[in-house]
Structure 1
Amino acid sequence: MYRVVPHSAWSTLCTRCWRKQQQQLLLLLQKRHLAAAAVESPKLGAAAASAFNPALHSAPGAGWEDKTLRDIFDNPSIWRDFSAKSHNPTAQHTGLFQNKDLTSAAGFKAYADRTLQKAKRQVDKILNAYTPDELVRVVRDLDRLSDLLCRVIDMSDFVRATHPDRKIVVAAHEAYTVMYEYMNVLNTTTGLYDALKRALDNPEVVAKFSDEERAVATILYKDFEKSGINLPAGARRKFVELSNEIAELGPQFINEMAPETHFLTFDSARLRGMDPMVVRELTKRGKVTIPTIGMAANHAIRSVEDEEVRKEIYIAGHTSSARQIGVLEELLKRRAELAVLVGRETYAEVALTDKMASSPEAVTKFLNALADANRPAAQTELDGLALLKKQSGQSLPLQPWDKDLYTARMMHAIRSRRRGSDILSSYFSLGTVMQGLSRLFNRLYGVRLVPRETLPGETWNDDVRRLDVIDETDGHIAVVYCDLFERAGKNPNPAHFTLRCSRQISDEEYLAEALEGAREDDGMASVRRPDGTLYQLPTIALICDFARGNPALLNFREVQTLFHEMGHALHSMLGRTALHNVAGTRCATDWAELPSVLMEHFARAPEVLGLFARHHQTDEPLPMQLVAERLQQEELMQAMETRTQILLSLLDQRYHSGLPLQRGFDSTAVYHEVEGRYGLLPAARGTSWQGFFGHLFGYGATYYAYLFDRAIAAKIWKDVFEQDPLRRDSGERYKEEVLRWGGARSGWRSYSICVLVV
């Protein structure tokens, strides 16, 4: 059965808007299950009661939750006190994310097996749908089937990439593999496709579909056809085989990135310009050994005066291992083979059929136009760096390994005439930024972030903070786990993960599960809305890699990064659709980046910064002139940064063309071809940086989305928010016309309505 959170509020929340017969049955079932739970696990009942958070019921803007939100991120001692109960060695452990199965590595197999059995029952139900009443439920049944699979796949994918316990990582990977393979089998199961087609071919049935159900039906129908559902049986088996290989190669490509040369050794005298303290830490037996990727290498590239040293470090840091290049080329080849198998010429064609840009030709046209428009400004920026190099006494033309050094010098010269950027970070403790995000969301959308103590075993690390998202009218609407501090072995890349999407659970579904004795509830958060509808809450994880401190202070780029990732989370929070397949970020890839890119505009707005940015010691408000100066510095090399994104987007398109199927395909040659055509600096021969381009897996043929959504976000910011970024009616307009739809409505339609509505 589905649990309602907070558990103690069940009896008052579940009775609204129910028919009398259902109400009596639910109360009877509730008493039976609560009584059984009390007998089986009295300690767990006590833990659930102790986890009840009074802040969930406080008025919006209450001082306790606002102050606590800042304190638990800024003050280690307050965090220790706040999270004390989660460290109680005698308390019974809940599972990860309060999933009752995930209390140990073995639990992943149990969770996958239990879900697999439910999925098979769901498949049987769909396959046997023939009457109009049965066909009306086919779309929701398929959506529920998808949700069952994704609960395991999405969560396991996150855990295997994040959890510090190797046993749990292996178990999560095995659960992921089993469920992913089953999903690929279902994608090529003709009976499921036939059931959907029966529903769509029946006008009486289609007339009863909601708008969301029509949208999901269209998505599922296209997905079946993209999966080669109309192919002969042998070809469908080949599709599953290729899909499974791609699913294995992708994580391998991401997790095994490595340079061909791991370390370089120099005499210390050749590292003039580099911080002596850093040099000393890297010195052993009179020689300085520098890792070719990472912070030390980046510091050397930005500071060492000897051009030959910088060249060696640059080339080594941009040359992937032969093994990594082999994995990438195999991945690209398998994708190209899959595209041909389903009747497409290229994988980009497959990937873009349901995107806003719609075709590889449209994407390439967009990128080429952007490249032409960007060239003059980018060239002007490079000319400035070339002049700086010449003024420093260097006669050679500007090279790729020069750019970071002379950019750093230009920035230093500007900062020396103004107050340093380190002053700016004094106004951005992590706690105040989180506080600011909550205040901003409350002003615009009527939602706030409330700290909640975790139960023992609920998180994968003691650093992880749980925030409950509370809506002023709907109450509890989402759970966010924040893992924001650096630690050894942690992936440094900032990211947002939706571990479980929003989805409405119908009364009929709930009652059927309860009467059958099927324990559908996995223990994670669900709640009844004021209108009586039951929803599973979206569960989100935010990952960053901020340096620790007391408090941790963020530089301005890190503030923008946190706003960006929270933009994705906002989409998951407010895209609370009834169907899983279109919830939150489950939309076209070139629409999914819009909320995150738009949040970067908020991070730069003085009105928004004024909500929270205060000196961590004096509590003085942030002088906005500091921000203006920092933004001016950012703009100095903005055109070159955009140029790099254009180059990578075009490389992504080339890699997902027909090239990987040609004899002698060489990804390095293609990389240098694109670099030579669109880059403005001489190519660094011998490099193979494409092996470090991790987005090639997750964003295959859709990396352009960042640039695409940057243009859309700029227009929405200008037309909706720029004049007053804190206006509630503007926030409501954006929430109602963009965020709440998730992927249930065309991005073009949402965009046009949002910017045109007055």
Structure 2
Amino acid sequence: MSILTQHFNTKHNTAPFSQIKIEDYVPAFNEAIALAKAEIDAIVNNPDEPTFENTVVAMDFTGDVLDRLSSIFFNLNSAETTDEMQKIAQEVSPLLSEFGNDITLNAALFAKIKAVHEQKEKLNLNPEQTTLLDKKYKSFSRNGANLPEDKKENLREIDKELSKLSLQFGENVLAETNAFELHLTDEKDLAGLPEGTIEAARLLAKSQEKEGWIFTLDYPSYIPFVTYADNRELRKKMAIAFGAKAFQNNEFDNQENVLAIAKLRFKRANLLGYKTHAHFVLEERMAESPEKVFSFLNDLLAKAKPAAQKEFAELASFAKDLDGIEQLEKWDGAYYSEKLKQQLFNLDDEKLKPYFQLEKVLAGAFTVAQKLYGLTFTEVFDIDKYHEEVMTYEVKDTENNLVAIFYADFFPRRGKRNGAWMTSFKSQSIKDGTNERPHISNVCNFTKPTETKPSLLTFNEVTTLFHEFGHGLHGMLANTTYPSLSGTSVFWDFVELPSQIMENWCYEPEALALFANHYETNEVIPIEYVQKIKESASFQEGLATLRQLSFGLLDMAWHGQDPTAITDLKTFETEQFANTQLYPDVKENAMSTAFSHIFQGGYSSGYYSYKWAEVLDADAFEYFQENGIFNYEVAAKFRDNVLSKGGTEHPMTLYKRFRGQEPKPEALLKRAGLL
């Protein structure tokens, strides 16, 4: 047996990262797939009448060895990848998609599930059991179990191809991100840039044994550059490189991959009897249908667009007055927004950053979780980790019971993809009376500490940390019986509620007082800064909303209609952006070729979820504000009805149980200053 397929003989059964060798993976996957197949066979060959327990429950607990192995491997492939790992991913992904199909297209297994499903009304199941039965039945019916044999084969081919294409897509984006660097040797090119950004660029150049400064497309380097660099030509160079990722007609080009993915998804949906990929996806979402999503997005667009146009005109005239800019371009947006924000609020990230030392912000997130949910986080040093920068914590409740293991991984590295995410190395479930506690991870890309400064966060990074930590709490506080309904296994347009609601605490003086201390003097953030943070929260909210809506509409355009006639990606995109575009188009750039959320992550037909969940989170946070942001009763209702329940019941049922009513969009529009 491989080390990766046995019970880990480690503290809390945590992953034994330091003992894993790269050559262990492929044999382990083969072994874990064989084990899972044997478990499925045992259910299929059971001579007893199919029951809820011996079929549906038994099935939910199959493949735990494979699930554990997959989570370890694919988490590392995102956070600590190598060329070898990417090759292995290309090798095992088709095996996994084939195995997934072996289950959903297993006629004998489906017959047993169907038999149980047909007696549903007589079985006296509780809500969680009912959800599990429905979900299992749909996992077959929605994935081809009712298809004739030839069409099942066709489906297998499509799924195999899709899993390869989305991996290839992600590898191309990473390769393109790593391939570009801006190497500067003239100090005057650094004008306007924050000291910390300059220092980080110098260290990067030094690590490559080069003179001067190196800037990259990694967010902690790219965002400050386009926000602060006075040299417009260099901002342009960076912005064009960023927008041209995988759109350069080279070996890493994603145009054909995007077209192939969109067309295969459409073909798959048709095969299963759905009009489009979006119809297929949205059947299992709160939004229910593409029509509802389009009307939701367009409704918000109608409210946000006038505000966005007004803000854009203000920004353009500000840039003209300040620097004689005749035409505001994409590489001017962040730069002049920041300047205008400083003029209006006398507040910039550089003023705020000294108050947001990473360690203190993290401790602040922990304190907020303690005040709301009674959790304590203790850093421990005897749990294995996959990189020395990762920190590990035991999370306990007020009775000192272990709630979860928490991994925190905060800095950019060559083998780590951009962005920020939450994931898990082991999910929660209850089996044989034992509540297996989850192992949760937050991965971000913040500025590294330098020789002279700790890691200091921009306010935007503070909200990112709280956002991912909110997803983390959803995973940590999970308390369901069945693994497939646990933690963040909820409808996709509900999954952003726990993360987005956490961001609200970053704007509250009472919460900021817990962690916003100057890293040198320990002075608490001045109250006028806090007021300005609150005032500036809705600064250019129209533009920000328009941008989010344009991404959501682009996603729906790829997936909510027949894409077979699309031949040119750029032309198609330009048409889709026509209604939301304010800046002139940049011919060298495309969005879709690096739109990892929808072509590599799980957000296809789901990008609208961010806005959808914002309606939920604004409405939910209003309830906290009415009763006090650390009100224990409201927090307990949120924990017991939302965070701990996972996907055990319909999200609207859970939400109404917490809030006493359906969410109203007014809270969001009010918060965004769009009313």
TM tier, smaller = 0.7 to 0.9
Task: Please tell me whether residue 318 in structure 1 is matched to residue 243 in structure 2.
Answer: yes
Offset at 1:756?
Answer: 1.3
What corresponds to 1:452 in structure 2? Answer: 380
What corresponds to 1:81 in structure 2? Answer: none
Q: Is the 8 A contact 1:424 1:627 kept in 2?
A: no
Distance across 2 between alignment mates of 1:620 and 1:757: 42
Distance across 1 between alignment mates of 2:14 and 2:84: 14
What corresponds to 1:751 in structure 2? Answer: 655
Given the alignment, which residue of 265, 268, 286 partners 1:356? 286
Task: Please tell me whether residue 705 in structure 1 is matched to residue 609 in structure 2.
Answer: yes
What corresponds to 2:106 in structure 1? Answer: 189
What corresponds to 1:670 in structure 2? Answer: 572
Offset at 1:388?
Answer: 0.8
Distance across 1 between alignment mates of 2:639 and 2:214: 52
Offset at 1:462?
Answer: 1.1
Q: How does 1:575-590 map to 2 (within 5 A)?
A: 575-590=478-493
What corresponds to 1:547 in structure 2? Answer: 447
What corresponds to 1:731 in structure 2? Answer: 635
Shift in alpha-carbon separation, 1:469–1:124, aligned structure 2, 3 A = same
Given the alignment, which residue of 51, 56, 60 partners 1:143? 60
Offset at 1:206?
Answer: 2.3
What corresponds to 2:666 in structure 1? Answer: none
What corresponds to 1:644 in structure 2? Answer: 547
Task: Please tell me whether residue 228 in structure 1 is matched to residue 144 in structure 2.
Answer: yes
Q: Is the 8 A contact 2:219 2:419 kept in 1?
A: no
Given the alignment, which residue of 313, 322, 336 partners 2:266? 336
Letter in 2 for 1:735: R
Offset at 1:378?
Answer: 1.1
Offset at 1:406?
Answer: 1.6
Q: Is the 8 A contact 1:649 1:704 kept in 2?
A: yes
Q: How does 1:251-650 map to 2 (within 5 A)?
A: 251-257=167-173, 258=176, 262=180, 275=193, 301-302=226-227, 311=236, 313-319=238-244, 320-322=247-249, 323-392=253-322, 394=324, 396-414=326-344, 417=346, 421-455=349-383, 458-473=384-399, 475-506=401-432, 533-549=433-449, 551-650=454-553
Q: Is the 8 A contact 2:507 2:533 kept in 1?
A: no
Distance across 2 between alignment mates of 1:230 and 1:212: 25
Distance across 2 between alignment mates of 1:344 and 1:660: 14
Distance across 2 between alignment mates of 1:502 and 1:647: 36
Helix, strand or coil at the partner of 2:644: helix
Distance across 1 between alignment mates of 2:520 and 2:188: 41
Shift in alpha-carbon separation, 1:97–1:722, aligned structure 2, 3 A = farther
Distance across 2 between alignment mates of 1:145 and 1:459: 27
Letter in 2 for 1:605: E
Letter in 1 for 2:132: V
Q: Is the 8 A contact 2:218 2:412 kept in 1?
A: no
Distance across 1 between alignment mates of 2:85 and 2:588: 40
Letter in 1 for 2:459: F
Offset at 1:746?
Answer: 0.8
Shift in alpha-carbon separation, 1:262–1:213, aligned structure 2, 3 A = same
Q: Write out per-residue CA displacement over residues 488-536 of structure 1, whole angstroms, 9 at most, x where no aligned residue.
A: 4432311111222111112xxxxxxxxxxxxxxxxxxxxxxxxxx2122
Offset at 1:287?
Answer: 12
Shift in alpha-carbon separation, 1:251–1:191, aligned structure 2, 3 A = same
Q: How does 1:72-83 map to 2 (within 5 A)?
A: none
Shift in alpha-carbon separation, 1:321–1:403, aligned structure 2, 3 A = same
Offset at 1:134?
Answer: 4.4
Helix, strand or coil at the partner of 1:450: strand
Letter in 2 for 1:230: N
Offset at 1:151?
Answer: 2.3
Offset at 1:115?
Answer: 2.6
Range that drifts further, 247-256 or 145-154 = 145-154
Helix, strand or coil at the partner of 2:444: strand
Q: How many residues align?
A: 638
Distance across 2 between alignment mates of 1:178 and 1:587: 26
**Please, what is the CA RMSD of the aligned residues?**
3.5
Helix, strand or coil at the partner of 2:74: helix
Shift in alpha-carbon separation, 1:305–1:424, aligned structure 2, 3 A = closer
Distance across 1 between alignment mates of 2:293 and 2:434: 41
Distance across 1 between alignment mates of 2:551 and 2:491: 20
Offset at 1:266?
Answer: 10
What corresponds to 1:14 in structure 2? Answer: none
Helix, strand or coil at the partner of 2:15: helix
Q: Is the 8 A contact 1:493 1:545 kept in 2?
A: yes
Letter in 1 for 2:592: Q
Offset at 1:544?
Answer: 1.3
Helix, strand or coil at the partner of 1:738: helix
What corresponds to 1:73 in structure 2? Answer: none
Offset at 1:360?
Answer: 0.6
Letter in 2 for 1:565: E
Q: Is the 8 A contact 1:483 1:542 kept in 2?
A: yes
- Give the alignment's TM-score, normalised by structure 1: 0.77
Distance across 1 between alignment mates of 2:331 and 2:519: 37
Given the alignment, which residue of 6, 9, 15 partners 1:97? 15
Q: Write out per-residue CA displacement over residues 42-92 of structure 1, whole angstroms, 9 at most, x where no aligned residue.
A: xx98xx6xx69xxxxxxxxxxxxxxxxxxxxxxxxxxxxxxxxxxxxxxxx
What corresponds to 1:215 in structure 2? Answer: 131
Letter in 1 for 2:359: G
Shift in alpha-carbon separation, 1:360–1:149, aligned structure 2, 3 A = farther
Distance across 2 between alignment mates of 1:556 and 1:238: 49
Helix, strand or coil at the partner of 1:411: helix
Letter in 1 for 2:329: Q
Shift in alpha-carbon separation, 1:285–1:604, aligned structure 2, 3 A = closer
Letter in 2 for 1:179: L
Q: Is the 8 A contact 1:344 1:350 kept in 2?
A: yes
Letter in 2 for 1:614: N
What corresponds to 1:657 in structure 2? Answer: 560
Range that drifts further, 578-587 or 670-679 = 670-679
Shift in alpha-carbon separation, 1:678–1:593, aligned structure 2, 3 A = same
Distance across 1 between alignment mates of 2:621 and 2:395: 24
Distance across 2 between alignment mates of 1:633 and 1:193: 55
Q: Write out per-residue CA displacement over residues 458-503 of structure 1, whole angstroms, 9 at most, x where no aligned residue.
A: 2111111111221224711211111113334432311111222111
Q: How does 1:33-112 map to 2 (within 5 A)?
A: 97-98=15-16, 103-112=20-29
Q: How does 1:130-209 map to 2 (within 5 A)?
A: 131-132=48-49, 134-145=51-62, 147-164=64-81, 166-167=83-84, 170-171=87-88, 174-202=91-119, 206-207=123-124, 209=125
Structure 2: unaligned runs, 5 residues or longer: 1-5, 663-675
- Give the alignment's TM-score, normalised by structure 2: 0.86
What corresponds to 2:673 in structure 1? Answer: none
Structure 1: unaligned runs, 5 residues or longer: 1-32, 38-43, 53-94, 507-532
Given the alignment, which residue of 128, 148, 157 partners 1:241? 157
Shift in alpha-carbon separation, 1:305–1:423, aligned structure 2, 3 A = closer
Shift in alpha-carbon separation, 1:640–1:244, aligned structure 2, 3 A = same
Offset at 1:629?
Answer: 1.4
Distance across 2 between alignment mates of 1:264 and 1:464: 28
Give the number of the structure with larger relative contact order, counting CA–CA contacts within 8 Å between residues 6 or more apart: 1
Q: Is the 8 A contact 2:220 2:445 kept in 1?
A: no
